[in-house]
Amino acid sequence: MTIDGQAEAFLEMLAAERGAAANTLAAYAADLEDFLSFLRARGVQASGAAAGDVSAYLRGLYETGLSARTQARRLSSLRQFFLFLLREGRRADNPMAEFVTPRLPKALPKYLSESEVNALFAAARALPGLPGLKAVAGLEILYATGLRVSELLALPAAALTTDAQMLLVKGKGGKERMVPLSDPAKLAAASLRAAVAEMKPAPRYLFPGRDPREAMTRQGFALLLKQVALQAGLDPARLSPHVLRHSFASHLLAHGADLRSLQKLLGHADIATTEIYTHVLAARLQKLVQELHPLAGG
């Protein structure tokens, strides 16, 4: 991937000032490289790109059949990039000023039913050896806390070793939050920790990878979940760490949690992000009216 100096400076700013995660930086880098390649073919540099160049690029995205969501993400990346150039004095204008980000329909989060989650736990407990212990501990912690998979895999080897009922988690942008712990999650973590204690060198993470000095990769954990899904009789395509996070949130709301509390548990900076789960609230309120309203029985 070839990134010019201006794009590199932008990515460094995202990492240093906003604490952007590695996956976020990679996505921005890919978006910018696609745009800069387009400009190079036109003999134009980012510092000299005009609104017409941006318009031609966006038109090309539409004509190649990219999804509306991908087009909107590319537009957002360019908007932030050119704002950075403007603020840094590398441009005197912003060619993105006239472009409006299209409003996308909010996609409903994919989540499992409570019975499907129970089936996953049963399948994980039936897996032998270290993979089974990792699967049980991962499911217990993710479903009990709503952690992101990056947060789960970053847990140190000593995590969940005390009698504390809360876990301090460092999330996106280095922001810290407290999440409650369940006894089954702590027991599963203890079993996993005992199993990896004999590794040499001593593991640094609760979920060690093939090299005990490194954490298990996201890809490795996702593949383990696919294996559990197959054992549970579920479509592996329906299961991912993020689906478990959505399940945690959806099931909490279905049992009476409020959006503000859920926002804190999930580590969302904006309540609007948490509002994707209002479909659960709507269903719960409808059921409440049907059951309790004096005229509901007709």
Q: Is 134 a catalytic residue?
A: no
Could you count the other beta carbons within 10 Å of the beta carbon of residue 297? 7
96 within some domain: no
297 within some domain: no
- Start-to-end C-alpha separation, the chain: 66
**Which of 254 and 188 is assigned the larger pLDDT?**
188
207 within some domain: yes
Length of the chain: 298
**Which of 55 and 275 is assigned the larger pLDDT?**
55
pLDDT at 280: 62
pLDDT at 282: 62
Given the residues 74, 148, 186, 193, the one annotated as active site: 148
- Asked if residues 251 and 223 have their Cβ atoms less than 8 Å apart, the reply is no
The domain tally of the chain equals 2
Same-domain status, 80 and 129: no
Q: Read off the CATH number of the domain in which 17 is found.
A: 1.10.150.130
| 3-state SS class at 70 | helix
Given the residues 172, 177, 226, 284, the one annotated as active site: 172
Q: Is 245 a catalytic residue?
A: yes
What is the distance between the alpha carbons of residues 204 and 173, in angstroms, rounded to a whole number? 22
**Which of 253 and 28 is assigned the larger pLDDT?**
28
* 235: pLDDT strictly greater than 50: yes
* 118: pLDDT strictly greater than 60: yes
Same-domain status, 158 and 27: no
Q: Read off the CATH number of the domain in which 231 is found.
A: 1.10.443.10
pLDDT at 22: 85
104 within some domain: no
- Asked if residues 28 and 20 have their Cβ atoms less than 8 Å apart, the reply is yes
Given the residues 110, 242, 279, 284, the one annotated as active site: 242
Q: Is 148 a catalytic residue?
A: yes
Same-domain status, 144 and 280: yes
Please name every residue paired with 176 in a beta bridge, in sequence order, or none if there are none.
170
| 3-state SS class at 168 | strand
Closest CA to 262 of 279, 274, 246, 244: 274
Given the residues 193, 245, 246, 251, the one annotated as active site: 245
Q: Is the pTM of this model over 0.85?
A: no
H helix or E strand, kind and range, residue 158: none
Q: At a CB cut-off of 8 Å and minimum separation 6, what does 30 contact? A: 1
pLDDT at 1: 46
Q: Residue 68 — pLDDT band, cuts 50, 70, 90?
A: confident
Same-domain status, 169 and 262: yes
Q: Is 268 a catalytic residue?
A: yes
Mean pLDDT along residues 108-114: 81
pLDDT at 207: 96
212 within some domain: yes
- Which of 1-15, 96-110, 150-164 has maximum average pLDDT? 150-164
Q: What is the mean pLDDT of the chain?
A: 86
pLDDT at 30: 92
Mean pLDDT along residues 170-196: 88
Given the residues 57, 143, 205, 277, the one annotated as active site: 277
- Asked if residues 95 and 50 have their Cβ atoms less than 8 Å apart, the reply is yes
* 275: pLDDT strictly greater than 90: no
45 within some domain: yes
Same-domain status, 161 and 278: yes
pLDDT at 62: 81
pLDDT one-digit tens code per residue, 126-153: 999 999 999 999 999 999 999 999 999 9
Q: Residue 216 — pLDDT band, cuts 50, 70, 90?
A: very high
pLDDT at 279: 61
* 203: pLDDT strictly greater than 70: yes
97 within some domain: no
Closest CA to 143 of 121, 127, 174, 165: 121
Task: Write the CA distances from 49 to 40, 45, 78, 93, 96, integer angstroms.
Answer: 10, 6, 11, 10, 10
Same-domain status, 67 and 179: no
Same-domain status, 134 and 267: yes
Q: At a CB cut-off of 8 Å and minimum separation 6, what does 6 contact? A: 46, 47, 85, 90
* 298: pLDDT strictly greater than 60: no
Amino acid identity of residue 287, one-letter, is K
Same-domain status, 75 and 123: no
Mean pLDDT along residues 247-264: 85
Same-domain status, 149 and 239: yes
Same-domain status, 122 and 60: no
Same-domain status, 166 and 279: yes
149 within some domain: yes
The pair of three-digit structure tokens given for residue 103, joined into one six-digit string: 């409003």
Residue 17: give the domain boundaries.
5-87
- Asked if residues 196 and 207 have their Cβ atoms less than 8 Å apart, the reply is no
pLDDT at 80: 92
Mean pLDDT along residues 174-180: 85
Same-domain status, 260 and 179: yes
Alpha helix segments (H runs only) across 154-277? 183-196, 218-232, 241-254, 259-266, 271-274
Given the residues 134, 193, 246, 268, the one annotated as active site: 268
Q: Is 87 a catalytic residue?
A: no
